[in-house]
Chain A
Amino acid sequence: MAYVLLRHREIPDLHKFDVYKKNGGLAAFKNAVTKMTPAEVIDVVKNSGLRGRGGAGFSTGMKWSFIDAKSWPHYIVANADESEPGTFKDREIMESNPLQFLEGLAIGAYAVGAHTAYIYLRGEFWQVAQILDEKIAEMEKAGYLGDNLFGTEFSLRIHTHLGAGAYICGEETALLESLEGKRGQPRVRPPFPPSVGLYNKPTIINNVETFTNVPMILANGADWYKSMGTADSAGVKIFSLSGRVRRPGNYELPFGTTFRELIYGEKNGAGVQDSRTVKAIMPAGASSSMIVVNGDDKVLDTPMDYASVRTLRAELGSASVIVLDDTVDIPWVINKTIRFFKHESCGKCTPCREGTFWMNKIVQRVSGADRTQKDLDLLMSVAKQMQGRCLCALGEFSTMAVVSGMERFPEDFQVKQ
């Protein structure tokens, strides 16, 4: 299969402007601006079945069509805050195929009528921002960014903006707060960003991988894109595979590829380290419920698409697949995930601020030698009380590994008599 996103693996030097252009790059953007209306662009993206790759899986074309046409100016923002433990795909795209991402962002800007685009990168991506700044300057010089592009009325400028170390800024309204120069704390929704976003203006926010799909969709058509993947989840996805596998890394595969193919395929994960068996899979990083595997063939043969993963009582999310083998102790895992969420909770809403703090304290005891039934009950009670009561998804996500781990791996939580 030819790559759609990780094309740099087949085309050497694709990050170079002339190489990208020679391989058809920027033609889709120019064609959209000069020959298509914004509504036509949105229709193609809608018909392609492209869903947001940041984790929520919402229809991209639908989101774009929600932009409020009565309020101006419009903004478009690329979410490059990639911070979910287990996710490392956007970094590879931006480092190695940056122009395809920028072209997708530019097409998105045209579709929603934005003349200014921001790329919000996590602060740690300092080197990535330098690469993007260089590419943006090259696009400007070649006439693909700036005023009155290709002789039309459409103007566009793209700016990078670095965060400074806060997972919560991947949540889109926290990202907007941060981009406005404030603490990155989520806003109460509604209103949603397509009506009231950056500087209170209509704003569309999409993940880096989402944008990177767009030039290929415009170049090859919605039907071509839909011919890959499943009816529910069209197209291809970059699966970030980590944990106890022989070959961790990013693998671009059509939706509907099985867990087995990803973990055991020779070109993919090439199996579990030391030939152990898979005990559990966390398909959406640290935010994930744990899927019980314990060598079960049926689980490993489940296709990875949004609907099928749900039948295993988990979410595909951003497809950051963490593999746990049979040497891994589940209490140790939730100790790691809760420590993370406690550190990253923004402190705005009480259930998350207090809940992650107390879960962290209890989990430290539960994962140690002095585990008691009372602590286990208390931990479950705190987690259940948080569910459905937090301002944003972070609080909810923090409970996933705890609740699923305790319920699905009771043998790992036995109290010593």
Chain B
Amino acid sequence: MSLEKTYPKEVKQILAKYPPEGKRSAVMPLLFLAQREPGYITKAAIEDIAQILDITTTEIDAVITFYTLYHQEQGGKYRIQVCNDLPCALRGADKFLEDLCENLAIKVGETTPDGAITLEAVACLAACNNAPMFQTQGPDGIKYHENMTVAKTLDLIQTLKHAGKEAE
């Protein structure tokens, strides 16, 4: 199913943001839209966007591979992306990530056996004052979770699993 058929309103809104000579600007928002349901960018979506914007699939591949928030493979339904850069690490982010791995019995980069959660370590998320922190990336977008503990994170994961959609 093409993006224009699945999300006609959203595609129209996105294209309206840019002038005709800057149509290609829509590639990034369209990729986010294409990723919303499957959790990664499918081959069909790339061909679809190439057609909408009149650019090549290679040009779209170049964009996808440059940015970390686009995924080329199926991960967990939610990705938990923990910042462990310098400021967060000074406030216990490394230990938090280590303990979280132990509790989930997976390593960084792996997905829980039930396919619910992929755990990732990411670069600074601009929330250094509220470490340890992470963002969740899933079907309902990206959300920040700050001043976290392992216990709070495990609770959140339970909520994510059961509700099928994220709680605040």
Contacts and interface: CB of A to CB of B under 8 A. Distances in A.
B86 interface: yes
Interface stretch (A118-126, A355-363, A365-373): A118-126
A127 interface: yes
Interface stretch (B3-11, B99-107, B125-133, B151-159): B125-133
A7 interface: no
Given A127-B141, A165-B69, A180-B25, A322 B90 contact: yes
A42 interface: no
- Dominant secondary structure at the A interface: mixed
Interface in A138-187: 159, 161-167, 178-184
A233 to B, nearest CB: 23
Contacts of A244: 90-91
Contacts of B130: 248
B44 interface: no
Interface string B112-152: 00000000001111111111000100000111100000000
A250 interface: yes
Interface stretch (A10-18, A28-36, A84-92, A375-383): A84-92
Contact of B127 (A84, A88, A198, A320): A88
A343 B123 contact: yes
Contacts of B135: 124
Contacts of B18: 159
Nearest to B90: A243
Nearest to A130: B141
Contacts of A389: none
Interface string B53-87: 10100010011001111100000000000000111
A21 interface: no
Interface in A231-271: 240-244, 248-250
A164 B124 contact: no
Nearest to A336: B86
B108 interface: no
B86 A333 contact: yes
Given A127-B142, A159-B17, A167 B123 contact: yes
A368 to B, nearest CB: 15
Contacts of A159: 17-18
Interface size class of B (residues with CB under 8 A): 35 or more
Given A85-B85, A161-B28, A164-B31, A248 B91 contact: yes
A340 B63 contact: no
Given A124-B135, A126-B141, A198-B22, A322 B126 contact: no
A243 B87 CA distance: 5
Contacts of B67: 123, 163-166, 184
A344 interface: yes
28 contacts: A83-B126, A85-B85, A85-B124, A85-B128, A86-B86, A88-B128, A124-B135, A124-B144, A126-B143, A127-B142, A159-B18, A161-B17, A167-B123, A181-B25, A181-B28, A182-B24, A182-B62, A199-B19, A199-B22, A240-B128, A242-B90, A242-B91, A244-B91, A248-B128, A248-B130, A285-B87, A322-B86, A322-B90
Interface of B: 17-19, 21-22, 24-29, 31-32, 53, 55, 59, 62-63, 66-70, 85-87, 89-91, 122-131, 135, 141-144
Q: Which 5 A-B pairs rank lowest in CB-CB distance, beginning with the nearest?
A: A165-B68, A164-B67, A181-B24, A242-B128, A126-B142
Given A87-B126, A181-B55, A184-B66, 9 more contacts: A85-B86, A161-B17, A163-B28, A165-B123, A182-B59, A184-B67, A242-B87, A324-B90, A340-B86
